[in-house]
Amino acid sequence: MTINQYKEISDTVAQDPGVYQFFDKNDTVIYVGKAKNLKKRLNSYFRDPAQLTPKTRTMVKNAQYFKFTIVESEMDALLLENSMIKKFQPRYNILLKDGKSYSYICVKNENFPRVFLTRNVIKDGSHYFGPYTSMKRIKALLALIKQLFPLRTCNLNLSEANINKGKFDVCLEYHIKKCKGPCVGYEPKEVYDVRIEQIKNILKGRLSLVKKHFVNAMNIHAENLDFEKAQAIKDKLIAFDDYQSKSTVVSTTIADVDVFGIETGEDDAFVSYLKIIDGAIVNSYTVEVKKGLDEPIEDILSYVIADLRDKFNSITPEIIVPFKVFTTNFETNIVIPKIGDKKKLLELASQNAKFQRLQMLKLKATKVKKQTSVERIMKTLKSDLQMEVMPFHIECFDNSNMQGSYPVSSCVVFKNAKPSKKDYRHFNVKTVEGPNDFASMTEVVFRRYSRLLKENKPLPQLIIVDGGKGQLSATMKSIEALGLENTITVVGIAKRLEEIFFPNDSIPLYINKKSESLKLMQHLRNEAHRFAITFHRDQRSRNFLVTELTNIRGIGLKTAQKLLKHYGSVQKIKETELKDLIDNFGNSIAQKVYTFFNPKE
């Protein structure tokens, strides 16, 4: 849009607070902005071009027309601007650079809720806590919850109708004491719900409430002279205090607050966020902002605050910032500290933002060698599966049988994204009778890694199981029995929809079908299947041939194997002259074999 075109319509622009949008020739929104006075703000785009920044000049040049919306206040303008930027993702607006998919802890919306780690947020009424940037923190939280509160982990549909009908008359988890048997009526829903509330307090960082709950329960048992139960709760208090002592307490005078520090450059900015609950840092997060035009630093921070508080579901009544900003909540108290604990928190957040930006600049300044395809694939796979280490060594398992007969399993090994055939292994299943893939998987996985541990050989960083939740659960029995659950990442890949399952997570991960990491996992799965099928056919064929020889009266399995080893096949044995058989195996065996295959002579 030219200056002359704007002048023709400038008298129609209101002088009220509002939001404006610039559109290109394709009617695409290329920029969204807010203003206290729309006319003054829009006039600033069509003054002397030399006074505009290069980016702003380019945006105005590409704009064909604009629209504006009048609102009641500048606060309303901020809300509408944030909403439009998220909706349209305009080319010239600021961009939050965050492509990572972080993990959440889910308290499922169901009777007797389960608590588990997930990467997908589903709007089904469940409570999601996070996102968490540290897998170490998630594992610590889940381990604490498991130690303090027995919860069910089964996927049974525990509707009131099913429970009342007595549908679940057997509860395996209860019998092994993982839970207290809510599905069979051994535990009232009210008691279970109290436990869930305390878990939510832990996940919210309300540790003092949880401790108070345990102390009250312990005192009640002690007053009732039930010292055994009181001691059990005391043991839980000790475990809880141990976890609490490791929390990063930054202040004993500050309760709940969000802290935001910012470090800016010419084209970017880094905003560091600290979430403080009961004086302890319960989460931290740093986001990179790619600047659009010439946004003031106050507008950048306002936009990021709204986005991060929404991402972390924060409703803290107070925000600590380095300068005055607008927020999307009138009731939020904005604090710009000058001294004291709040000032120290602000300095900590600002220092985090500064270090993140310095690290980014050093990475850009360092000339990194060209990434190989193997490195690229490994990094993609590591990112997709949220692994903590690079998966240079991967192993994949598959089973094969014919209606339970000749059950075998295969283990294929990939190193640096390529097959390492000298490391392939196949297994004859020994302890399983009938068609039971789950039990077979449990056996061969235990045999494989117990041997590697015994021989002190390197373990893989990633194990892939051909199958869904059932095969994965069977694998994890052996992995946990060997104490490797925190050492090796284990996933299952289901064929039909290429779903990736994680232990203790009922929601699968879907990787882009064109992703190199998924193609690598498919290659492993297909190679394991091929290797298992080939071995199964060999075993079946060998046993068939040996069975035919053992049908000869007086010829046992060992003799049949010696005959096959000497002549190579049953067909050659059939064609062998009697004299040759006598010379090699003696008169008795020769007569029996020769007569069996030549009954008329």
176 Cβ partners below 8 Å, 6+ apart?
Answer: none
Q: Are residues 170 and 233 in the same domain?
A: yes
Q: Are residues 526 and 570 in the same domain?
A: no
Q: Are residues 239 and 269 in the same domain?
A: no
The mean per-residue pLDDT over the stretch 575-597 comes to: 89
Q: What is the pLDDT of residue 178?
A: 66
Q: Are residues 87 and 8 in the same domain?
A: yes
Strands 405-415 and 393-402: antiparallel
| Residue 240 structure tokens | 């809880």
- Is pLDDT of 154 > 80? no
Amino acid identity for residue 356 in this structure: Q
Q: Report the alpha-carbon distance of residue 265 to residue 76 in Å, rounded.
A: 29
| Residue 346 structure tokens | 């602000």
Q: 52-56, 132-136, 422-426: which range is least confident on average? A: 132-136
Are 291 and 267 spatial neighbours (Cβ–Cβ below 8 Å)?
Answer: yes
pLDDT per residue over 16-57, tens digit each?
888 899 999 888 999 988 888 888 888 888 877 777 878 888
**Preceding peptide of 131 cis, ω within 30°:** yes
Q: Report the alpha-carbon distance of residue 12 to residue 6 in Å, rounded.
A: 10
pLDDT per residue over 166-214, tens digit each?
555 556 555 555 677 777 777 788 888 888 888 888 777 777 787 788 8
Q: What is the pLDDT of residue 394?
A: 94
CATH number, domain of 393, equals 3.30.420.340
Banded model confidence at residue 164, pLDDT cuts 50, 70, 90: low
The mean per-residue pLDDT over the stretch 503-517 comes to: 84
Q: Is residue 252 included in any domain, yes or no?
A: no
Q: Are residues 405 and 510 in the same domain?
A: yes
Strands 425-428 and 405-415: antiparallel
Q: Which domain holds residue 518?
A: 379-539
Amino acid identity for residue 435 in this structure: P
Q: What is the pLDDT of residue 291?
A: 80
Query: Between the CA of residue 208 and those of 175, 213, 280, what are the distances in Å?
Result: 33, 9, 11
Q: Is residue 371 included in any domain, yes or no?
A: no
Q: Is residue 518 included in any domain, yes or no?
A: yes
Q: Is residue 544 included in any domain, yes or no?
A: no
Question: Which one of 62, 93, 124 terminates a domain?
Answer: 93
- Most confident range (mean pLDDT) of 4-8, 166-170, 454-458, 529-533 is 454-458
Using alpha carbons only, what angle is made at residue 430 by residues 426 and 431, rounded to the nearest 5 degrees? 135
pLDDT per residue over 529-566, tens digit each?
888 888 767 765 655 555 577 778 888 878 887 887 88
CATH number, domain of 49, equals 3.40.1440.10
pLDDT per residue over 86-117, tens digit each?
788 888 887 776 545 567 788 888 888 888 88
Q: Is residue 424 included in any domain, yes or no?
A: yes
Q: What is the pLDDT of residue 490?
A: 92
Q: Is residue 491 included in any domain, yes or no?
A: yes
Question: Which one of 514, 539, 564 terminates a domain?
Answer: 539
Residue with tokens 């280490």: 389
355 Cβ partners below 8 Å, 6+ apart?
Answer: none
Q: Are residues 223 and 276 in the same domain?
A: no
Are 43 and 7 spatial neighbours (Cβ–Cβ below 8 Å)?
Answer: no
- Is pLDDT of 354 > 80? yes
β-partners of residue 268 are 290
| Residue 425 structure tokens | 């292994």
| Residue 205 structure tokens | 């960082």
Q: Are residues 124 and 224 in the same domain?
A: yes
Q: Are residues 63 and 132 in the same domain?
A: no
Q: Are residues 491 and 578 in the same domain?
A: no
Q: Report the alpha-carbon distance of residue 163 to residue 179 in Å, rounded.
A: 16
Are 427 and 447 spatial neighbours (Cβ–Cβ below 8 Å)?
Answer: yes
Q: Report the alpha-carbon distance of residue 52 to residue 44 in Å, rounded.
A: 9
Are 256 and 274 spatial neighbours (Cβ–Cβ below 8 Å)?
Answer: no
The mean per-residue pLDDT over the stretch 220-233 comes to: 80
Q: Are residues 393 and 522 in the same domain?
A: yes
Are 414 and 394 spatial neighbours (Cβ–Cβ below 8 Å)?
Answer: yes
Q: What is the pLDDT of residue 246?
A: 52
Q: Is residue 50 included in any domain, yes or no?
A: yes
| Residue 550 structure tokens | 């053992």
Question: Which one of 75, 93, 111 terminates a domain?
Answer: 93
Q: Is residue 416 included in any domain, yes or no?
A: yes
Helices (H), 205-339: 207-223, 227-245, 297-311
Q: pLDDT > 90: what percent of the chain?
A: 10
127-132: strand order across its sheet? 115-118, 103-107, 127-132
Banded model confidence at residue 262, pLDDT cuts 50, 70, 90: very high
18-23: strand order across its sheet? 29-35, 18-23, 65-70
Banded model confidence at residue 491, pLDDT cuts 50, 70, 90: very high
Q: What is the pLDDT of residue 431?
A: 82
Q: Are residues 139 and 174 in the same domain?
A: yes
171 Cβ partners below 8 Å, 6+ apart?
Answer: 179, 181, 183, 184, 186
Question: Average pLDDT of the chain?
Answer: 81
The mean per-residue pLDDT over the stretch 125-146 comes to: 76
Q: Are residues 82 and 125 in the same domain?
A: no
Q: How many domains does the chain have?
A: 5
Give one word for 520, left, alpha or beta, with left for phi > 0 and alpha for psi -120 to 50. Answer: alpha
pLDDT per residue over 241-252, tens digit each?
665 555 545 555
Q: Report the alpha-carbon distance of residue 311 to residue 161 in Å, rounded.
A: 36
